[in-house]
Amino acid sequence: MREDIEIYRAGMSDMKKIADLIVSINEEKTKITKYDDFNFYHSKNSLKEVLNGKNKNEMIFIARNKENFIGMINLSFRDSDYLFFIDKFLYIKYLYVDKDKFIDTQEYKDIAKKLFEASISEAKKHGFKYICGDVLSEEDEIRELFEINDMKNYKNRLYKKINTM
């Protein structure tokens, strides 16, 4: 990985960039599907609580070089539930790496790996044994980033729209 890239826990100075990025990611996902059950909206106050550490159940890591914000992983601590009943888990709400900032595909993948490493390190501190995330079937790039980080398919949710007239 390039030496000019740093991975760090996001703080208040990153708030505007993160808020803009979350809106952008949600807009891109809306182009893929008309449903918005994948969006995790943050109000200004809820994002502020994550970044200033008041919300102890969520955190964000950033990847950046000197000039640019090039990646982000937004995580929440979750108890076992109907999505993943085995144990409590770290849930990936958002994963983003700006592919356009890299000439070399391997560097792009390395950034995702570094974001995962930071996440897993934090998960271990809190006693989490699993990290999970959801990927829409059309999100091939995100799926690839999950898979290069040794994430396995857990279950698939299938659907069919029922015409009601």
**CATH number, domain with residue 144:** 3.40.630.30
Sheet holding 69-78, edge to edge: 6-9, 58-64, 69-78, 89-97, 131-133
94 located within any domain:
yes
Question: How many Å apart are CA 13 and CA 128, to the nearest integer?
Answer: 28
19 located within any domain:
yes
The chain-wide mean pLDDT, for the chain, equals: 84
163 located within any domain:
no
Instruction: Give the domain range for residue 131.
Output: 6-148
pLDDT tens for 112-148 read: 999 999 999 988 998 888 888 888 888 888 899 999 9
pTM metric for this prediction: 0.82
Question: How many Å apart are CA 1 and CA 46, to the nearest integer?
Answer: 33
40 located within any domain:
yes
165 located within any domain:
no
39 located within any domain:
yes
pLDDT band at 1 (very low <50, low <70, confident <90, very high): low
Burial class of residue 65 (count of CB atoms within 10 Å of its CB; 0-12, 13-18, 19+): middle
pLDDT tens for 34-91 read: 655 555 566 778 889 989 989 888 999 999 988 789 999 999 887 666 666 677 788 8
Q: Domain count of the chain?
A: 1
1 located within any domain:
no
153 located within any domain:
no
**For residue 19, what are its two tokens?**
């808020």
